[in-house]
Amino acid sequence: MQLDKELITHLEGLLRPLFLKQGLNFLVLPRLSDCDDLIFKISWELRTDRARQGKRSKLIVLKISAEAMNEYEEAINEYKEGNRKRREQYDSKLRKFIEANLYKHDSEHNQPIGRPTPEVQWLVSTDVLNS
């Protein structure tokens, strides 16, 4: 699981700057095994409703499938051996996927106070990495 920690640190460093939002919450739920998806839960403070200070955006649940994580781990190993191409391609495709989804994302909602914030799920599969 050491490589898993390295990969999670790498992915967090890659993804966090894409969410330049005030009051960002960026939670990583670690994988318990190689068969689990990696999950990031991301939200930020909305400053659009004066009556509801502290209102949070819709919660983005970003899942990187176990299969995609395994491919990414192979790319990290290749990177350590001097072959940077595949990891750099995966990084670029993941960044583009997040940017495209953020562009379309409507973070606003009208959920009443005391009710769970609405969630949206974004899935990063091997199809995203190999597109």
Residue 114: phi, psi to the nearest 5?
90, -10
- Whether the predicted pLDDT of 59 surpasses 90: yes
Rounded distance between C-alpha atoms, residue 87 and residue 56, angstroms: 33
Residues above pLDDT 90, as percent of the chain: 69
Confidence tier at 2 by pLDDT (50, 70, 90): low
Domain that holds residue 41: 2-108+117-129
Entry pTM? 0.91
Mean pLDDT, all residues of the chain: 91
Average pLDDT over residues 54-80: 93
Average pLDDT over residues 30-38: 84
Question: How many domains, the chain?
Answer: 1
